Amino acid sequence: MKKNTILLTAVTIIFAACNNKKAEDKKEVTVKEKAVEVTVNEVSLKNDQLNAAYQQYLLLSNALINSDLATAREASMALELGAKTLNGGEKLANLASKITVASNIEVQRTLFASLSNEMIAKVKAIGLQSGEVYVEYCPMAMNDKGASWLSNQKVVRNPYYGESMIDCGEIKETLK
């Protein structure tokens, strides 16, 4: 419950900062979480449609971190709709669709690895207008084959394991 409150507070702060006319003065939002300072960068991609899909991707990642099957379904459904508006977004939309209908969180997490690879490729191809995106990697995910994901924060929060190994992983690359 405490985590949900912190997450809700962080999201509220971010949206408030985004709606502020002086948002360019606010490049980061810092939230204290269990004595760990988490900095979430405001990110804007160069393509509006990809930017909207990326926001849903982040919601999906957070739902997997929290082991929330229902919220993961909602976010993947919205991601699917957003991906369908992208030029070349069919594969992303198809993967998001599979996450939406997945029967359990572990299946969603497995599909998230492929979806993340596709999203990483798209974000790298389009580029960022502002902020930083971190390519994070867990070597233990997918039965020790490893898997990557995107994040707006430098603190690792692993969507492949949730609470059981929340900070397993490392930042492999910073996209600017």
Token pair in block for residue 69: 């099957």
In the block, which residue shows the tokens 């994040």? 151
Contact 3, 13 (CB under 8 A): no
Q: How confident is the model at residue 97 (pLDDT cuts 50, 70, 90)?
A: very high
DSSP codes, 66-93:
TT-HHHHHHHHHHHHHHHHTSTT-HHHH
Residue 124 has pLDDT above 80, yes or no: yes
Write out pLDDT tens, residues 39-68.
Answer: 456 899 999 999 999 999 999 999 999 999
pTM: 0.78
Write out pLDDT tens, residues 100-114.
Answer: 999 999 999 999 999
Please give the single-letter amino acid code of residue 131. G
Write out pLDDT tens, residues 29-38.
Answer: 333 344 334 4
Q: What's the rounded mean pLDDT across residues 6-23?
A: 36
Give the sign of the dihedral formed by CA 128, CA 133, CA 137, CA 141: negative
| Gap between the Cα atoms of 111 and 43, Å rounded | 24
If you average pLDDT over every residue of the chain, what do you get?
83
| Gap between the Cα atoms of 163 and 146, Å rounded | 18
Residue 127 has pLDDT above 70, yes or no: yes
The pLDDT score that the predictor gives to residue 40 is 54
